[in-house]
Copies of this chain bind each other. A is one copy, B any other.
Amino acid sequence: MTRVLYDLCGIDEGLRFSPFCWRVRYALAHKGLEVQTRPWRFNDTEALAFADHDKVPVLVDGEEVITDSYEILRYLDRAYPEAPLLGEGLAEARGRFFKHYAERVIAPAMLRTIIMDLLNAIHPDDRAYFRETREKRFGRTLEEFHSPAKGLAQLDAALEPLRAQLADSDFLDGDAPAGADYLVFGNFMWARCVSSADLVSNADPVHGWLERMLDQHDGLGRRALRVTDIEGAYR
């Protein structure tokens, strides 16, 4: 059986930056499951028609086709119960909060800082689509939305509860990382792959956590191709 993950790529097929796909890459590694990733671009709608879906991640696991990063984590817990990612009951309900915290608080703050880097990292054929959909969502141009000073201040405030959590334990989920860590860390991989912006100071407890997360699963995150690794690609 080949397990396949459709994974967003940018100007280079090896440049993978979707925060949602990174959640799933870490979740699969957490379960010790091999996966073949298949590069996908925003405009490859035909390639996902089989899943009746238009976004990645899409995971094909034998006969199963699962879409949406959070649903994929839930699926993995059902299909491979060892080493829970989200767990059940109170653990699962609270795990879900990290998804919302990552998407509604962390991501918007980061995006104001990295949006022009992100545009640059996207494949040229996908940029018009990206610009159009995001400008509609923000109600202004990407250039108007772009504001690193505001974004970094917003991120600094948004990280307060993470800092407090990391004063108690090495990972959000305790002594070892699990679903909550992956849900939030996906956003940091997104920023790392497309930008060289320093989002967090070296003295911040969040910095130590990021370093530990990059080392997890044989350096899965640290080994990832960044736009800064591609000659002439980082402007």
Residues B161 and A93 in contact, CB atoms below 8 Å apart? no
Count residues of A near B (Cβ-Cβ below 8 Å): 30
Residues B103 and A98 in contact, CB atoms below 8 Å apart? no
Q: Which of B98, B104, B105 contacts A94 (CB 8 A)?
A: B98
The verdict on A97 contacting B165 (CB below 8 Å), with A91-B89, A91-B90, A160-B105 known, is: yes
- Complex CA–CA separation, A66 to B3 (angstroms): 51
- What B residues does A168 contact at CB under 8 A? 96
A173 part of interface (Cβ distance < 8 Å): yes
- Complex CA–CA separation, A83 to B176 (angstroms): 26
The verdict on A160 contacting B104 (CB below 8 Å), with A87-B89, A89-B87, A174-B89 known, is: yes
The verdict on A94 contacting B161 (CB below 8 Å), with A87-B89, A89-B174 known, is: no
A189 part of interface (Cβ distance < 8 Å): no
Q: Mark A153-171, 1 if CB is under 8 A from B, else 0.
A: 0000000110011001100
Q: Which of B93, B98, B179 contacts A174 (CB 8 A)?
A: B93
- What B residues does A90 contact at CB under 8 A? 84, 86-87, 91, 94-95, 173-174, 178-180
Q: Which of B86, B103, B161 contacts A105 (CB 8 A)?
A: B161
Give the one of A86, A93, A169 with max B CB within 10 A.
A93
A172 part of interface (Cβ distance < 8 Å): yes
A101 part of interface (Cβ distance < 8 Å): yes
Binding site for B on A (CB under 8 A): 84, 86-87, 89-98, 100-101, 103-105, 160-161, 164-165, 168-169, 172-174, 178-180
Sample of 8 A–B contacts (CB below 8 Å):
A87-B90, A90-B173, A94-B172, A94-B180, A101-B101, A104-B160, A104-B164, A105-B160
The 6 A-B pairs with the shortest beta carbon distances in the complex, nearest first, are: A94-B94, A100-B164, A100-B161, A90-B91, A104-B160, A91-B91
